Structure 1
Amino acid sequence: MNRSAKHRRKFRHGPALRGLALVLAAGLVVAGCTEADPEEGPTTSVDLGGEAPALAALVESGDLPPVEERLPAEPVVVTPNESLGQYGGTWRTVTQGPGDEVWFQRTIGYEPIVRWIPEWTGAPGDAEVIPNIAESYDVNEDGTVYTFHLREGMRWSDGEPVTTADVQLYYDLVSNPEITGTVDGISDSIVKGSTGELAALEIGDDYTFTLTFPEPSGVFLPSLAEGTSLMVPRHYLEQFLPDYNADLDALVESEGFTTWAELLAAKYDAWTNPDLPVLNPWMVTEPLGTSTAVVAERNPYYWKVDTEGNQLPYIDTVRYTVMNEPEVMLAAAIQGDIDMHVRHFNTAVNKPVLAQAREEANFDFFNLIPGLANEMVIMLNLTHQDPVQREIFNNLDFRIGLSYAINREEIVNTVYQRQGTPSQVSPQPESPFYSEALSTQYTEYDVDLANEALDRAGYSERDAQGRRLGPDGQPITFTVDNPGQPGFDDSLALISGYWAEVGITMTPNSMDRSLYEERRSANIPDAGVWLAGGGTDVVQNPYWYLPVSNRADYAQLWATWYTTNGAEGEAPPEATQQQMELYDELRATFDPDRQAELMTQILEISAEQFYHIGTVLPASGYGIVSNDFHNVPELIPDSYRVATPALTNPEQYWMSQ
């Protein structure tokens, strides 16, 4: 397969913000995808247009090169969703602070080497992946050789050129065991094949490089589209690396670190280090942890333009006010202090409150195509450090009994305002992977069935207070770590009562997001709760169905065993290993139909293993947007894997002045 865009016209037309039908209606051509007739992205011809007034002033004063010198020879041309915009304005949004960096990534940080199309559906294979940083790319017939062609003249936010030297250093870092997996954003998992062997990198010239895998890598391009650029700013990071800085020890000490790897991790963080050159539309100027807000200003070297050749982004500044609690964020939204947001407080519980306030606060809703598989999944720690707790949690009948004891209809009605359906973690009904058996098993509220399952588990004996006794003769009791997402507190309060009725003591353990992340990554909790992905992005987000990622909080050590090829962690049960083998085959398969077959088998085993306990399948979601904030689509795919709302190109959002 070959995916390349020819140099037929002056500029490439990049990711369109409308469906394919609209692209065709505009007279743009998309060729078929064959070896003889390579697929071409939509193209159009534009002349260079304007730039932000503040940048024009810097050009006039001689402090910034002219716009034609700041853009690559072939900038991405973005079609505005509704209209050409005007420059200016500050996008007001919110963040929970440390631990919530994903919101920065989803709004100003999504610039991978290839990217998702805005009308993404979650289909297997790479049909929904298009060039981004790469001007084009080619894939051989069996999916082992990937050649990328960078944009000549593209620059980092400090004006330095982007070349394959940046790719080479990225590869050197992910190949370094002292770095990979310990520095956020530097991981060898992306460039590893299903056997765990790194792809071989070959640099062709300043703008061409090739990665060759030892076997077909069927998920490589979709994995890149989730947010990997395959490059780092070499000219900046070399000073923090021992191969390039003879005085590095002194620098490490002067910066207050113990090792150069710690120093590198601190410097390679775009949200806390404003000196790090980036390729994003906006660059952080007031970093995380220094004030009550994170502020990002436009990147003068951003490499995308609109259809009139005007350099993007339109908006001058993005301001993230730090608010730890979703309730505080909700209050800000009601007061009209948030311009566009699609996280934290956009729950079914809060929608009636927001609907009542939207006219006075001058905002409206946009709709989300739900990507979640569950509003709140309860993850008992199957690899618990305590052997007694581990034995209890790994007892399938114990988990089944707890599931039967939950009155999901009551949770839907009282917590989620009658929005949603009782369900285990499951693909959405619209997904080709939907399984009624997986979705509905053990969801009936039946105290008798719950007690039967718990008795069958071997925990029929009780103390004087009616509490069931575990294998050590002590009452079965555990805590559930709760990061405080909307609906979690109320749901857990109800579930604690349900489980007490069948003799199980569960205590919610509320905490902020950063502590939750710290505890879960260290395999400390008895159990935890989170929103379950994999509702539409089933192939791209499989860890809710088998533990192949450190996000699989229900079995951290099994996931570690998988991700380290058995070097660390603990070997999982035979059925889980079978899933992992199927997933390895899926990763090595370039045929989307075969990928679908393998994913279906994985889901069947997941249903049998019943790793965790779901509650509610989400209804359609929503976000809020000010009436003075434009070019946000009315319907947006919602998934962690596609960095919602980043796939809609926030650089083309604009604000009435």
Structure 2
Amino acid sequence: MFKKICTFMLVCIMTISMIGCSSTPKETTSDEENDVDTNISNSDTTELQKEAPMLAEKVKAGELPSLEYRLPITEDVMVESDIEELGIYGGNIVTTTHDHAHWTWGPYTEQSMFRFKQDGSGEVEPNVCKDFHANEDSTVWTIELREGMKWSDGEPFTADDVLFYYNHMSTPALNADRTPVNVGDENYYNAFTSKPYRCYYVIKDEKNYWAEFEKVDDYELTITFAAPKPNFPEAVAVDNKWMFAPKHVYKDFVARKDGVTDDETFPLITEEEALANANKTLEKQWDSYTTMGKGVGYYNWDYYQIPQLRSFIATKNNWDKVGETYELVRNPYFWKTDSEGRQLPYVDSIKIQIINELDQVTLKAVAGEFNFLLMKPEQYSTIASSTKDTHRVSKWSDVTWAQFGFCLNPTHKDLDKRKLYQDKRFRQALSIAVDRNLLNSTLANNQLEPWQLSPAKGMLGYDEEWSKKWTEYDVEKANKILDDITEPWVGKQGTYRKMKGTDKEVELLFYISEDKMKENAEFLSLLQSAYKKIGVKVSSKIEADISKMDLANDHDTSIRLPYGATPVLRPDSMVPMRNYEAWYGAYGKWYEDNKSEVNGGIEPTGDMLELVKAYENIITATGTDRNKVVSETAQKIYDLHKENIWGIGFLSPAPARFLIGNDLKNYPDGLVLADEFRFENLARFEQAYIVK
């Protein structure tokens, strides 16, 4: 089957198409799928029920208001284009994930203010909002909301929910001119969510200026920037998708810090009181206001007590309970319909079995227990061949840069390691000392190819020369390179090289979570064997909170790698512009703290600094030649990665392969699986339906 895949474009200036064909054990074309008689396409749709039977029964019993009340006013209801065909109500999507999977299943139900179009073009369109537009120089954006739209508990969704989220949850302490208060200032405080979102400020005269949100009325607001912000909708869609929160709930979780005295709906409470309220309401035991803020600010969709605009909502807070099923049921106040005015979603619920053991997931998949599953490469052959009569395989493009790899912390707190890790020759030696063909046969059943860390074929930034750089297997050359940058090594078995001028062994220490350790155990074992031949020690340590280590610059070697569709939409994976990725370490902290080293950041130099400059060129570009500047600058970012190979990759990226039960319809093929596009969110789960 051939499927046209529209990937992404640089801020609406280029579209790349590729033709992908699948060789999976069973595939169907869209026409073949549409041959299934669902009793919808050939029926009189005007006679179809406009809401799910389970909701209609509640209305009849007086337990739920009528559909007309639950939807926005008629002209503001969002009518979705049918993905393939009209669906039918009922049934369940059954899948699985592990017990730390906020982000894994979150995109299934996510509803953002602006969403990326399904074609993968990189363009955004209204979603939660009804419309948005900017003034001539993009310094003022106007957002129009949907009148009559409601949270999942029936409370109105208005501009107040957007302003409350922005002013009291997502901004740090600000000065009168809307620049952030210095980290060391006594009046400093971080955002309630713990993370200031870059989409909400601009850089002017080397200072960050936060936008000002103003309410026009209940369903309209303006966002004013101190300098042009032409990519505001795209930046929000990537960085802070939701951009709102139910004020009527969060007013009890957020301590008021900005001196507001004229808002009776936001009572003054202390951090201690806010923490106690959250622990009681959400049945948790956070030990501090800061950790609660991150948990509630980020992962609000975990909790059934917090109202949502999402298509499906939680029923219990058991998302982290291994062995249990975390169920998400349809939101009775969901504000979208299909082309015939029938309220979405179609299925009754999404059932997510919480399983940590990969082999158990494989066994259950083979047994046919799931009608939806994103398969890992090592599972694919076993599962697909065993379920060829009951399931099909849907292939998406993936923006992963490599299958298996690692990066070194260039800002390591050990200065000797820092010097070694910053030496490009060291990274070259580590790359060529590994037999990628052996990894391919052992880890991927020879399905992939030797590959350096770089964009996949058909994706923006793909460069054949880059993909093959330092991929030759040459242990002798690797040892010669290392002889110049470490202490002499005799090659005696059981011994390791020492760092130059020290008695410290050259050791790659992988900090890794328990679930990732299980997935990567064989890979690490192969690395260990390979690097013994060049005198480099490989060891590993299980850590519960890897992200916390990364943020504190306490990591050494990480399996987390750069990725992404384009640095224009998702720069933080390719550029050190916030405290986020392991491969650039504390350089990102420096930039995030307004180019300050006060709080542990480290100022980048050389090509790492050039990455920062390139990013700034993208976000400050204006005028008629903006598209050209953005395109050329994005290419420069790719070129800098190609030159330095800051992370080492070993095998080519595998396509994303979804196991789809024959009973699950309206799940599209050939899309792009990317964090920028919110992963499976592009599938529009609210339109999936079950054939009984």
TM-score tier by shorter-chain length is 0.7 to 0.9
Q: AA paired with 2:70? A: R
Instruction: Kindly report which structure 2 residues correspond to 1:341-490, keeping only aligned pairs within 5 A, or say none.
Output: 341-342=373-374, 346-359=375-388, 362-462=390-490, 464-465=492-493, 466-471=495-500, 472-483=502-513, 484-485=515-516, 488-490=520-522
Aligned-partner Cα distance in 2 for 1:404–1:182 = 45
- Deviation (angstroms), 1:279: 0.4
Secondary structure, in 3 states, of the residue corresponding to 2:630?
Answer: helix
Q: Does the CA contact (< 8 Å) of 1:482 and 1:489 recur in 2? A: no
Aligned-partner Cα distance in 1 for 2:130–2:59 = 27
Aligned-partner Cα distance in 1 for 2:468–2:321 = 47
What's 2:7 paired with? none
Are 1:193 and 2:194 counterparts?
no
Q: TM-score, length-normalised on structure 1?
A: 0.85
Aligned-partner Cα distance in 2 for 1:604–1:251 = 48
Q: Aligned in 2, Cα 1:557/1:265: closer, same or farther, shift over 3 Å?
A: closer
Point out the more displaced range, 289-298 or 441-450: 289-298
What's 2:79 paired with? 77
What's 2:224 paired with? 212
What's 1:240 paired with? 253
Secondary structure, in 3 states, of the residue corresponding to 1:555?
Answer: coil
- Deviation (angstroms), 1:365: 0.6
Q: AA paired with 1:102? A: W
RMSD: 2.6
Q: Aligned in 2, Cα 1:157/1:618: closer, same or farther, shift over 3 Å?
A: same
- Deviation (angstroms), 1:260: 4.6
Q: Aligned in 2, Cα 1:89/1:391: closer, same or farther, shift over 3 Å?
A: same
Q: AA paired with 1:88? A: G
Deviations 1:375-401 (A, max 9, x none): 123111212222232222222211111
- Deviation (angstroms), 1:182: 5.5
What's 1:648 paired with? 683
Are 1:597 and 2:606 counterparts?
no
Aligned-partner Cα distance in 2 for 1:552–1:251 = 31
Q: AA paired with 1:213? A: F
Aligned-partner Cα distance in 2 for 1:649–1:384 = 42
- Deviation (angstroms), 1:58: 1.4
Are 1:313 and 2:345 counterparts?
yes
Secondary structure, in 3 states, of the residue corresponding to 2:608?
Answer: helix
Instruction: Kindly report which structure 2 residues correspond to 1:426-575, keeping only aligned pairs within 5 A, or say none.
Output: 426-462=454-490, 464-465=492-493, 466-471=495-500, 472-483=502-513, 484-485=515-516, 488-509=520-541, 514-530=544-560, 532-534=562-564, 536-567=565-596, 568=599, 569-575=601-607
What's 1:628 paired with? 663
- Deviation (angstroms), 1:197: 1.5
Structure 1: state its 5+ residue gaps.
1-18, 20-44, 123-127
Q: Aligned in 2, Cα 1:290/1:623: closer, same or farther, shift over 3 Å?
A: closer
Deviations 1:154-206 (A, max 9, x none): 1111111111111111121222347755626x633221124421122222111
Point out the more displaced range, 166-175 or 259-268: 259-268
Aligned-partner Cα distance in 1 for 2:83–2:232 = 29
Q: Aligned in 2, Cα 1:589/1:49: closer, same or farther, shift over 3 Å?
A: farther
What's 1:279 paired with? 309
Point out the more displaced range, 68-77 or 269-278: 269-278
Aligned-partner Cα distance in 1 for 2:166–2:46 = 35
Q: AA paired with 1:202? A: E
- Deviation (angstroms), 1:487: 6.0
- Deviation (angstroms), 1:121: 4.0
Are 1:50 and 2:50 counterparts?
yes
Q: Aligned in 2, Cα 1:233/1:616: closer, same or farther, shift over 3 Å?
A: same
Q: Percent identity?
A: 25
Q: Does the CA contact (< 8 Å) of 2:193 and 2:296 recur in 1? A: no
What's 1:166 paired with? 161
What's 1:145 paired with? 140
Are 1:91 and 2:93 counterparts?
yes
Q: TM-score, length-normalised on structure 2?
A: 0.81
Deviations 1:421-444 (A, max 9, x none): 322221223234223343222121
Aligned-partner Cα distance in 2 for 1:412–1:541 = 29
Secondary structure, in 3 states, of the residue corresponding to 2:676?
Answer: helix
Aligned-partner Cα distance in 2 for 1:284–1:430 = 38
Choose from 348, 369, 373 the match for 1:337: 369
What's 1:66 paired with? 66
What's 1:132 paired with? 127
Aligned-partner Cα distance in 1 for 2:406–2:121 = 27
- Deviation (angstroms), 1:493: 1.9
Aligned-partner Cα distance in 2 for 1:537–1:278 = 30
Q: Does the CA contact (< 8 Å) of 2:567 and 2:637 recur in 1? A: no
- Deviation (angstroms), 1:464: 4.7
Q: Aligned in 2, Cα 1:150/1:49: closer, same or farther, shift over 3 Å?
A: farther
Q: Does the CA contact (< 8 Å) of 2:576 and 2:611 recur in 1? A: no
What's 1:31 paired with? none
Q: AA paired with 1:183? A: T
Aligned-partner Cα distance in 1 for 2:72–2:47 = 13
- Deviation (angstroms), 1:338: 1.2
Q: Aligned in 2, Cα 1:183/1:71: closer, same or farther, shift over 3 Å?
A: same
Deviations 1:330-370 (A, max 9, x none): 2221111112122xxx233222101221136x221101112
Choose from 642, 646, 651 the match for 1:607: 642
- Deviation (angstroms), 1:556: 2.1
Secondary structure, in 3 states, of the residue corresponding to 2:638?
Answer: helix
- Deviation (angstroms), 1:134: 1.0
Q: Aligned in 2, Cα 1:418/1:593: closer, same or farther, shift over 3 Å?
A: farther
Aligned-partner Cα distance in 2 for 1:395–1:259 = 41
